[in-house]
């Protein structure tokens, strides 16, 4: 176990898998359609797999058809963004505000009320169903 900190305190967390390391720490991307979180419909909270910080609520999750878990808004203060000019594109990268882990990208083609699509790598997220909170 490793020590990690969240806005609610510090504690032990399981180490990341090699695939999670590649996404969160090396700015990788998982294959579209590969995350079980694409089909997750239960109420709950999505945390950063790297540090446990709260990132998204199931209330903002929607089916975007992109192949990645998508949300129209993050939890206030949960994420930060930076300009990403890799791979010959100009995009907005989304990362955890706490541990700075790479989560995915945000695009201006989402539904109301924000019009944004936070397209996240499922490997970067840890879902906690409402009944367990």
**Backbone phi, then psi, for 19, in 5-degree steps?**
-65, -40
Annotated catalytic residue 119: yes
Select which of 48, 51, 96, 119 is catalytic: 119
Number of helices and strands (H, E) in the chain? 1, 11
Residues β-bridged to residue 105: 93, 119
The residues that are catalytic are 119
């Amino acid at each position: 176990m490793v020590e990690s900190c969240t806005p609610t305190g510090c504690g032990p967390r399981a180490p990341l898998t090699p695939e999670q390391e590649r996404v969160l720490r090396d700015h990788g991307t998982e294959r579209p359609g590969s995350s079980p979180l694409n089909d997750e419909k239960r109420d709950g909270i999505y945390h950063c797999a790297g540090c446990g910080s709260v990132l998204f609520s199931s209330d903002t999750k929607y089916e975007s058809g992109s192949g990645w878990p998508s949300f129209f808004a993050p939890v206030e203060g949960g994420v930060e963004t930076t300009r990403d000019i890799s791979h010959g594109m100009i995009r907005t990268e989304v990362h955890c505000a706490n541990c700075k882990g790479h989560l995915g990208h945000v695009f201006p083609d989402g539904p109301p009320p924000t019009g944004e699509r936070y397209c996240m790598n499922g490997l970067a997220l840890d879902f906690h169903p409402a009944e367990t909170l």
